């Protein structure tokens, strides 16, 4: 785990290549959902016009993710996952979830699944969640543990990773 933490502090130490950032995984997931809806829909689970209810989680997801981003900026700490945090952000939306930006992206994907109304796009959501957990969340949590120690342990005990 220490090597993961060091990789977060200095991305060039673990690999000279550029890392793929979470928004690109998100855009790939959105594209995959649309392709699956068009080519392999697996049946309609929500009929029109009820699919329009998907706009609510989409809007909420963007609001939650934006709120988390604003809190990072307010505390002058980087948003990019591979840059070292300068502050442990625990206020605002971070009082309810430790990962509001990733959670917001998940809400957008869920809303998109409702908006599309077919079953196959929903298969993308657990894959996206697994990739985000594996590629980012685990390393970020290890880094925060090392960097902020007891303060992060207390925060982690008080606030859930997701909602």
pLDDT of 15 higher than 90: no
> Alpha-carbon distance 121 to 91, whole Å?
34
- Would you identify the CATH topology of the domain 2-14+21-158? 1.20.120
> Alpha-carbon distance 103 to 62, whole Å?
10
pLDDT tens column, 84-109: 899 999 999 999 999 999 999 999 99
For residue 136, name the pLDDT band (cuts at 50, 70, 90): very high
The CA-atom distances, in angstroms, between 34 and each of 50, 110, 116, 162 are 18, 13, 8, 25
Per the model's pLDDT, the better-predicted residue between 10 and 151 turns out to be: 151
pLDDT of 10 higher than 60: no
């Amino acid at each position: 785990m220490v090597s993961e933490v060091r990789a977060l502090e200095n991305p060039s130490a673990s690999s000279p290549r550029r890392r793929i950032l979470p928004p690109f995984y998100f855009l790939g997931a959105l594209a995959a959902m649309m392709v699956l809806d068009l080519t392999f829909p697996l049946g309609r689970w929500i009929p029109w016009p009820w699919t329009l209810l998907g706009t609510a989680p989409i809007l909420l997801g963007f609001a939650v993710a934006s709120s988390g981003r604003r809190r990072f900026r307010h505390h002058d700490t980087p948003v990019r996952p591979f840059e070292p945090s300068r502050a442990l952000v625990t206020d605002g939306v971070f009082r309810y979830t430790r990962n509001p930006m990733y959670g917001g992206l998940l809400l957008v994907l869920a809303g998109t699944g409702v908006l599309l109304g077919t079953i196959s796009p929903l298969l993308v959501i657990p894959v996206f969640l697994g990739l985000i957990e594996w590629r980012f969340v685990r390393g970020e949590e290890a880094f925060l543990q090392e960097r902020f120690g007891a303060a992060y342990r207390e925060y982690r005990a008080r606030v859930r990773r997701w909602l």
